[in-house]
Each structure stands twice: as C-alpha cells, then as structure tokens.
C-alpha cells in the first residue's frame, strides 16, 4: 500500500462537497495561499475540448489504454462518469508530487473519495459544507450556470453527499471564503506536524 505520510513527503488532500458549496472558489484561493500545493491531473477517455492540452487539463487516453491501466491497478480511483467516459486519478501522478514533497489536492465526489480512503488511508479528507441548505440553494441559483430543474437535481444529490460526510477526517463550513481557506490551510499545517509523520525529523534532531 502506498504511504502518503512523513513530513518530508507531501500530503494527499481530498476535497469534496455538494455542487454549489464553493469548492472551486475555495480551492482557487487555497492555491494562491499555498505555493507547495499542486493539483493532480486526472486521466480521461473523453475527447479534448478546444484549447485543452494533454497532460495539462487531463491525460487523454483511448478506452483501451484506460482499461489497460485499470487492469494494471494504476488508478487510486476511477469512475464511468455519465456512463459515457472514464475519468480517474492515476497513482503515479499523485506519487510523483508526493515524493517531491508537494501536497497534492484532489477535488472528487464522495464516491471517488471513499474509494481513495480504502487505498490511501493516510490521506487527508476534507468535506466542505455550506452554512445551510437554503444558502446552498442560493449559491447554486446565484451562479446562474444551471436551470431550475438542474438546481433541484443537484440539491437532491447534495443530500446523498451529506450522508457520506461523516466518513471524512474534517468538516469545514464555507461561510466566508477566507475563513474556509484559513481552516483548510491550518488543517494542512497540523497534518504535517503529526508525530506519526515526523519520525525522520525527530531522529535528526535527537541524533548525537
Ligand atoms: P462548487 O465548485 O462547489 O460547485 P463554486 O465555487 O462554483 O461551487 O461556488 C458556487 C457559487 O457560490 C459561486 O457563484 C460562488 O461565487 C459562490 N460562493 C462560493 N463561496 C462562497 C461564500 N463563502 N459565500 C458566498 N458565496 C460563495
Ligand atoms: P469534464 O468532462 O467537464 O472535465 O468533467 C466531467 C466530470 O468528471 C466532473 O464532474 C468531474 O468532477 C469528473 N472528474 C474529473 N476528473 C475526475 C477524476 O479523476 N475522477 C473522478 N471520479 N471524476 C472526475
């Protein structure tokens, strides 16, 4: 089993939350605040959109290639999204950053996160909550990217996501963006100081 611990190595950080909670907004601000944080580039079998680059937006693969990677257990998690295309997180993509001491952030749904929990139990799992369901509805409507029917569908899906929130290591309420960002940055700092991740530092400091 891959071990995503140790202070010299980076952390695997997984963030989930219902659509409209503010994940994209909070994550963007988190990247501005934490220079050691990198995003994991997923693999997919969908075709690149105009302007998308292989290795930057996604690692684009054929279905055959993706299924070969599944058979080789190359994925931390993967899903057949909307029944049409495969999407997945490659272990090697995550491992290369962690070995280089970078903290790697995955923004994935609760089902994907639960799969990662099984494979990387020392990951840091953060569930972002809206202050209330009413506020979630307001944010989804206010964003203006979904029609009324799509908003209702996402709110129903949110209840399923909330059910799974208990399995996460941390719950963070996104009341104010800056508050949520500060809390996640504090979680990352605390995780780096965990005694179980700091054996190498302790050895170095205490050696004669
Ligand atoms: P997600 O990525 O979780 O679907 P977004 O980041 O797109 O959510 O945010 C949904 C909407 O809510 C956006 O219009 C965004 O500007 C707004 N938003 C995000 N965080 C907050 C916050 N703390 N307070 C008020 N509005 C917010
Ligand atoms: P898009 O095709 O718009 O880039 O993404 C479609 C969906 O695929 C989004 O809901 C996105 O969250 C999901 N997705 C992207 N990468 C991954 C991944 O690595 N794993 C999983 N499980 N879903 C992903």
Q: Residue 106 in contact with residue 13, Cβ under 8 Å?
A: yes
Q: For every one of its 208 residues, what pLDDT tens digit does the chain have, with 9 covering 90 and above?
A: 444 444 678 999 999 999 999 999 999 999 999 999 999 999 999 999 999 999 999 999 999 999 999 999 999 999 987 668 999 999 999 999 999 999 999 999 999 999 999 999 999 999 999 999 999 999 999 988 888 999 999 999 999 999 999 999 999 999 999 999 999 999 999 999 999 888 878 888 888 8
Atom 10 of ligand 1 has which residue's CA nearest to it?
20
Atom 2 of ligand 2 has which residue's CA nearest to it?
46
Q: Which atom of ligand 1 is nearest to the CA of 176?
A: 23
Instruction: Please name which of 11, 52, 48, 49 lies closest in space to residue 169, comparing C-alpha atoms.
Output: 11
Q: Taking CB atoms and a 6 Å cutoff, what residues make up the pocket around ligand 1?
A: 17, 19-25, 139, 142-143, 174, 176-177
The tokens describing 171, both together, are 């719950």
């Amino acid at each position: 089993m891959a071990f995503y611990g140790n202070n010299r190595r980076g952390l695997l950080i997984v963030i989930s939350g219902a659509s409209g909670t503010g994940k994209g907004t909070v994550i963007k601000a988190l990247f501005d605040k934490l220079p050691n944080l990198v995003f994991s580039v997923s693999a997919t079998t969908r075709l690149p959109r105009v302007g998308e680059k292989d290795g930057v937006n996604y690692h684009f693969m054929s279905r055959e290639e993706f299924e070969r990677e599944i058979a080789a257990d190359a994925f931390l998690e993967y899903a057949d999204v909307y029944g049409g295309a495969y999407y997945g997180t490659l272990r090697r993509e995550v491992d290369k950053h962690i070995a280089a001491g970078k903290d790697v952030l995955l923004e994935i749904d609760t089902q994907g996160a639960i799969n990662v929990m099984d494979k990387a139990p020392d990951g840091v799992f953060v569930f972002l909550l809206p202050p209330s369901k009413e506020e979630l509805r307001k944010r989804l409507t206010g964003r203006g990217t979904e029609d009324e029917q799509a908003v209702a569908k996402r709110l129903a899906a949110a209840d399923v996501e909330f059910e799974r929130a208990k399995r996460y290591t941390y719950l963070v309420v996104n009341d104010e963006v800056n508050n949520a960002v500060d809390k996640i940055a504090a979680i990352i700092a605390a995780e780096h100081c965990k005694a179980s991740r700091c054996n190498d530092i302790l050895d170095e400091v205490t050696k004669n």
